[in-house]
Amino acid sequence: MGSLTGRPRKRLSQKQLRELLRAARRQQARKARVGRRRLQRIHDQLPKQVRTIFDPLEPAFSRPIHRRFVLLALAAILTLGGRTITNLLRVLGILAPGHPSSYHRVFSRDRWSLSPLARRYVAAVLARFVPSGTILLAGDDTVTEHPGPHVYGKGRHRDPVRSTHTYTAFRWGHKWVVLTVLVPVPWATRRWALPLLVALYRPKEENLKRGQRHKTPAQLLGQMVRILKRWFPDRSFVVTADGNYASHELAELAARTPRKWTLVSLFYPGANLVEPPPPYSGMGRPRIKGKDLPSPAQVVEKTTQRQTLVVAWYGGGRRRVEVVTGTGLWYKSGRPLVNLRWVFVHDLSGTHRDEYFFTTDATMSVRSLIETYTGRWNIETTFEEVRSYLRVQTTRGWSRDTVLRVGPCLLGLYTIVAWLYAELPGRWSRVRVVDWTGKRDVTFSDAITAVRRWLWLEWVWAIPGHRDAFQKLKPGLRQILLNGLAPAA
């Protein structure tokens, strides 16, 4: 049967096929060079504040990947919808030159490592917010929903937000162990918890299936603290975490290097406390512990006169409390003794339950111990704001590299937004989009809205070719357009 055109198709020789292939490759290389030049021009037009933050991260990537990474990060700030690559490219439009697949490959296939990126990122953040002195850290875990049959690292985790004392809610997704730095900011009375390092907790069943050693959340937190100690050997750290991380193993790890880092967490009323072991008598096995001490609950029950203090409390307020304190060596069978100070706290207002805190620094004052732990609550605020404003649960990547890269980068974007807000000119940082009676502090919703509007005006609409069209609009119409693109978060 003849062809529809009536003409037989001419067969190409091997030489002609090679020439066509060379021509296609030359055309592809030419397009790639044009795309890289356009990427560089767009990068050169970025505001100085953006380049100050992202340029120190460039050695962790090749140059084209770094340029695309910066564009995707800015698009993740500007977008109002889900944080999928496709949605980010819709926001960028012509500001994202090249084929869309080149941006999808940044997180799924391109060759770069999170470890060098994390080291440069942490060094830049600490140099900006905590250039000297002791670094106050807070660690906790959060669950992001990500269902699907082929999602890497997915598990069935307890959801602490929806669970109650009588009902346990579970969620299919990822459990991230996050280590944040607590920094004072001039626009708020409370410290902000800025994410530094993130580790994915994998269920025990998946680790057994893959032949990998299982690590608990407390072990992952200890591993991240050891990484910071290795990266910054001349700095000291104070790490605070909730009761899920109040393990003897983590306290023992802190006690090994007491001058480098200190652990502050919840304590157990019936903890096994002992005295130091007596000197070796020369006969038999040496004793590993001394006489048993009363447990914290027993000491509190026998104490009739309690000390009264006014301390910083959860959420940045002040609270009048009664305290009872003591010291001792925490004993666990088969493990070394851990020297610590414990504190019992009773809220005199009656709105908060009684709690026991402890620290591996026995010389820490009672007031400092209480205020250090209550300052940990800021990490819970960070988790809520990351879910609400950065939509960390809307990612749809399922492969190993995508999961391990996108989650930590979105959490780190919270720090980038806070850093950009700190660098904004005064006329931008003074604007508070949403206000109410009694509001004194700038919230993260104010910060991200101000950063979005600044990026639209000082970057997108300031690019040659965009500026002239925007200047032709009347001021009222410009404000309406800006409110639509960057509404109050």
Helix (H) or strand (E) holding 360: none
- Res 390 pLDDT > 70: yes
Pick from 4-8, 50-54, 176-180, 299-303: least confident: 4-8
Mean pLDDT over 148-164 rounds to: 85
Within a 13 Å sphere around the CA of 292, how many CA atoms are in the beta-carbon half? 8
Return the percentage of the chain with pLDDT > 90, whole number: 63
Q: What residues pair up with 327 in beta bridges, in sequence order?
A: 341
pLDDT at 423: 92
pLDDT at 111: 92
Question: What whole-number distance in Å separates Cα of residue 152 and Cα of residue 280?
Answer: 54
Counting every residue, how long is the chain?
A: 489
- Res 7 pLDDT > 80: no
pLDDT at 343: 97
Mean pLDDT over 432-440 rounds to: 70
Contact 406, 395 (CB under 8 A): yes
284: buried, middle or exposed (CB in 10 Å: 19+, 13-18, 0-12)?
Answer: exposed
- Residue-wise pLDDT tens digits, 216-239: 999 999 999 999 999 999 999 999
Contact 414, 176 (CB under 8 A): no
Question: What whole-number distance in Å separates Cα of residue 194 and Cα of residue 414?
Answer: 7
> Of 164, 140, 79, which Cα lies nearest the Cα of 389?
79
Neighbour tally for 308: CB within 10 Å: 11
- Residue-wise pLDDT tens digits, 281-297: 888 888 889 999 999 99
Contact 264, 245 (CB under 8 A): no
pLDDT at 9: 67
pLDDT at 210: 85
Return the percentage of the chain with pLDDT > 70, whole number: 96
To the nearest whole number, what is the mean pLDDT of the chain? 90
- Res 442 pLDDT > 90: no
pLDDT at 356: 96
The torsion angles phi and psi of 139, rounded to 5 degrees, stand at -125, 145
Contact 70, 47 (CB under 8 A): no
311: buried, middle or exposed (CB in 10 Å: 19+, 13-18, 0-12)?
Answer: middle
More confident residue, 26 or 224: 224
pLDDT at 119: 96
pLDDT at 139: 96
Q: What confidence category does residue 261 fall into, taking pLDDT thresholds of 50, 70 and 90?
A: very high
* Residues in Cβ contact with 397 at an 8 Å cutoff, skipping those fewer than 6 apart: 107, 108, 403, 406
Mean pLDDT over 43-67 rounds to: 94
Mean pLDDT over 362-369 rounds to: 94
The torsion angles phi and psi of 292, rounded to 5 degrees, stand at -70, 140
CA trace torsion 183, 196, 319, 187 (10° rounding): 40
pLDDT at 431: 63
Mean pLDDT over 161-174 rounds to: 85
- Res 352 pLDDT > 60: yes
- Res 376 pLDDT > 90: yes
Q: What confidence category does residue 211 fall into, taking pLDDT thresholds of 50, 70 and 90?
A: confident
- Residue-wise pLDDT tens digits, 188-199: 888 999 999 999
